[in-house]
Homo-oligomer: A and B are copies of this chain.
Amino acid sequence: MPSNNAAPSRIEELETPCLIVDRAKLLANAQRMKARAKALGVDHRPHLKTIKSVPIAKHLIGESGKATVSTLKEAEEFGRAGIVDLVYAVGISPQKLPRVSALSSEGIDLKIILDSVEAAEAVARHAAESGDPIPVLIEIDVDGHRAGVPLSDTERFLQIARVLHNSKAALSGVLTHAGESYALSAPEALADAAENERSGAVFMAETLREAGLPCPIVSIGSTPTSLSSASMEGITEVRSGVYAFFDLVQAGIGVCAIDDIALSVLTTVIGRRDDKGWVLTDGGWMALSGDRGTRAQEKDQFFGLVCTERGEAYSDLVVARASQEQGVITLRPGATGAIPQFKVGDRLRILPNHACATAAQHQQYYAVDEAGNVTDVWPRFNGW
């Protein structure tokens, strides 16, 4: 957008492509997760990697004031905005420790995670040299999806814990993430994944305590398991991020409806190829992201599902192809019917496969209300 323009007051005035947040849906999604955590008796620690926006974060943070981040840049931005109880939920590399301690000296309580003796020893050395009692969670692996100490390897787990406990760093608990849940869709399978995540974390927490080691924090979570768990017994906090906006992947998993998705990309029709059944727009992968997260789901949404400018979905219109600044809208394969007679200049909204990836392509969010008023322009940041 040209920086010298006044902020548009109506969705019809926005230049395209741009990123739209349905304000009412965002607030409803935030409220749903807060209520769920409260009902389950745990703190919610929202993952701010999805939004990367201070004004939106203020709507997500619950009474506990806790949050999760995926980069030190997020820790700096949110920490300096007053959100100071943070977990940096990506395995630490030793080179990043000076920036972690710099945050600590600013009064930001940033807990780091690690899963190896090697990293624990590096943190112990840094804590000794810097005098910073860095709080550390041990990452554990409950489903073979990513990083973490497997539940079967309690020997290594306790070795890591003892390195930390015998250092100036502060062994603060365990953390896990049920990565497998993103590949599921049956409610029973999701409930099983949630219970597997819970019981694995509790098992490792008990392993620490039985060895006489502290474990004040037992942190689990993903959007699908957070919304599918029957019990949080033994858990102190749950993390989730994409729930703030939801997206087509989450709808495919079944933890939200298409109509709950709060994020979309506003685009303009720039041409038609009636000979091919194509409508071209100015929304390519630069605006939508190249994420194809629904490719392996039962309903492939290609590069996104098409809606009217006001947000009503066309169930069978998708962005079938995307180049850098052009999207090609077609009927979904196998669908019957015809594409509406869109004209050059008509405007359409595209729901994203993966809200984190789509939001990352933009520098601000335009919040709109149900009447099409632009109520807020929320800046967002990227980088590390």
Contact = CB atoms under 8 A, between A and B. Distances in A.
Interface of A: 1-2, 15-18, 49, 70-71, 76, 90-96, 99, 102, 114-116, 118-119, 122, 141, 144, 146-147, 150, 179, 268-273, 275-276, 280, 282, 285-287, 289-292, 323-326, 328, 343-345, 356-357, 360-363, 382-384
Contact of A325 (B71, B76, B357): B71
A291 B292 CA distance: 9
Counted per complex, copies of this chain come to 2
Contact of A147 (B94, B147, B273, B285): B273
Contacts of A363: 382-383
A360 B383 CA distance: 11
Given A116-B271, A147-B273, A150-B275, 20 more contacts: A2-B76, A16-B384, A17-B384, A49-B324, A70-B325, A90-B325, A92-B270, A93-B270, A93-B344, A94-B345, A95-B268, A114-B271, A118-B344, A146-B280, A146-B326, A147-B280, A179-B323, A286-B382, A287-B384, A289-B290
B276 A144 contact: yes
B344 A16 contact: no
A136 to B, nearest CB: 14
A357 B290 contact: yes
Contacts of A286: 70-71, 360, 382
Given A116-B344, A118-B343, A344-B118, A95 B271 contact: no
